[in-house]
Amino acid sequence: MFQSLLRNRVHDYVRTFGGRGFRARSAERDAETDRARASSILGAIEQALDAAEREHAGLSRRVEDVLARAAVTVGNGADEYLERDALDSHHQDLFSTEISNGQRRLQQLATEITHFKFLRSAALSRLSDFRDASVAKRAEE
């Protein structure tokens, strides 16, 4: 009885769709869909890597600038720290805080960049059939 009920439901299902049989997409369309998926993953990794590298470069320049400004306020006398003005001491403290925060963030970005490069390598090794020419060129750098 169960089989007869199931058979009737299958026949109803087939009639609902006009008697069309199962059809799969073409191999070309499947390959294009797979390429689009892989490309979006690789593109996202590349965007994240580029953004992290740009942030690292910009922050590195700013930290170098703060180091140069801090060197000016330190002075060059052997006993400069004894006779330093209060305003110079305050600026030195601010520079020290900025430098510490900048160097901490630079270290975080360096770690992040390393992780993104690893993700890119892993993705390219697993998705080697879908390698985009621009991504492949960038990976070789």
Please state, as a whole number, how many other Cβ atoms lie within 10 Å of the Cβ of residue 56: 17
Q: Are 63 and 106 in contact (CB under 8 A)?
A: yes
The pLDDT of residue 134 is 47
Query: Does 4 have pLDDT greater than 90?
Result: no
User: Has residue 9 been placed in a domain?
Assistant: no
**DSSP annotation of 76:** S
First to last CA, the chain: 68
Q: How far apart are CA 46 and CA 127, in angstroms?
A: 15
User: Residue 135: which domain range?
Assistant: 36-139
The pLDDT of residue 102 is 93
User: Has residue 74 been placed in a domain?
Assistant: yes
Say if residue 22 is exposed, middle or buried (CB neighbours under 10 Å; 0-12, 13-18, 19+).
Answer: exposed
pLDDT tens, residue by residue, 58-93? 999 999 998 887 777 666 555 555 566 666 667 677
Q: How far apart are CA 61 and CA 131, in angstroms?
A: 34
Residue with tokens 């439901």: 9
User: Has residue 63 been placed in a domain?
Assistant: yes
Specify the number of domains making up the chain. Answer: 1
User: Has residue 2 been placed in a domain?
Assistant: no
